[in-house]
Amino acid sequence: MQSMEEIYRQHAQTVYRYLLAQTRSADLAEELTQETFFRAYMNYSSLRDREKAPSWLCRIAKNTYYAWCGRQGRQESLDELDLAD
């Protein structure tokens, strides 16, 4: 059975490259990769088949990216509001 540390070592670059392709930003891809592995660590017990770790991580990365996009959309919506009286 693989530990979370082993899974990180084996798959961090794959997750990073996936997120880099989505974001086109090295800094953002790195940030989201860290968030992805934090979420994976917190939910490690839900990974029943360690052989499926790469697809499990990419699904977490995709959801992390979509959550980031959603936060950006809400932030932009607030920025567009005219708060001046």
Closest CA to 12 of 66, 57, 67: 57
Query: What pLDDT is stored for residue 85 in this prediction?
Result: 46
List pLDDT tens digits, range 23-67: 999 999 999 999 999 999 999 988 888 888 999 999 999 999 999
pTM: 0.80
Query: What pLDDT is stored for residue 79 in this prediction?
Result: 53
User: How far is residue 54's CA from residue 17's CA, in Å, rounded to a whole number?
Assistant: 13
List CB contacts of 20: < 8 A, sequence separation 6 or more: 26, 29
List pLDDT tens digits, range 8-28: 999 999 999 999 999 999 999
